[in-house]
Amino acid sequence: MPPFPEIRACTKPARWAAVVVLILGVAATAAQASSAVYRWVDASGITHLSSEKPPAGIKYERVVLASTGRSSSSSVHPAGPSTGARVTTASAAQVARRNDVVTTLRTRECVVALESIDRMAKGGQAVDAAEFRRLQQTADLNCSNDPVVRRQQEDMAVKLRVSKGDICIDARNELADMLEPGGRPSREQVKTQQEFIESHCTAPVR
């Protein structure tokens, strides 16, 4: 009878367990890659968002979708040849979440660009032509072609502009003064101020 039969009996299952853990780890990595969103800035300063990796040699940031459907930022990859693992086909749920994330990120880039264009155009100061062109190209790339959605994005840009303007800056400062130690505002005054800020001064994108 071979020595230590109890050890020999558990060796094979232990090896299989290690193999299963390894396979699951590789599968998880591949699943993450298949549900990733890529963000990079080209030589002209235009922000790109895609479910596909950028061309070789471009530094990019990868956003991996969490299992809850929320996005979580991943590492920034330097320019160079791609060394990623093999990517499996994304599930329908992963594709839907990825598309939602791409749409959300593109909307943010669109709204920020539209707000900046409006601020530059109405600022009464000399406009940097290169920067204005970059912002316009960013808006053209990321804003929706659907007239209804585009109107919503333009409305968001207006709200962003207001939230960054003097009226909202003053409103936030007044609320801060009310909440300072020694201040004696009524509860109704504080509530009114907070409601004004929430209604008019909350930025639609960050």
In a domain, 39, yes or no: yes
In a domain, 38, yes or no: yes
In a domain, 173, yes or no: no
Residues 13-60: pLDDT tens digits? 444 444 333 333 433 444 444 557 888 888 888 888 887 888 888 888
In a domain, 10, yes or no: yes
Structural domain total, the chain:
1
Contacts of 76 (CB under 8 A, 6+ apart): 59, 60, 61
- Among 14-18, 37-41, 73-77, 106-110, whose mean pLDDT is lowest? 14-18
The pLDDT assigned to 66 comes to 56
Whether the predicted model's global pTM rises above the 0.75 cut: no
Residues 183-198: pLDDT tens digits? 788 999 999 999 999 9
Contacts of 101 (CB under 8 A, 6+ apart): 37, 63, 65, 71
Residues 123-145: pLDDT tens digits? 778 888 899 999 999 999 999 99
In a domain, 175, yes or no: no
Residue 24 carries which side chain, given as an amino acid letter?
L
In a domain, 64, yes or no: yes
Range of the domain at 102: 5-142
In a domain, 180, yes or no: no
In a domain, 181, yes or no: no
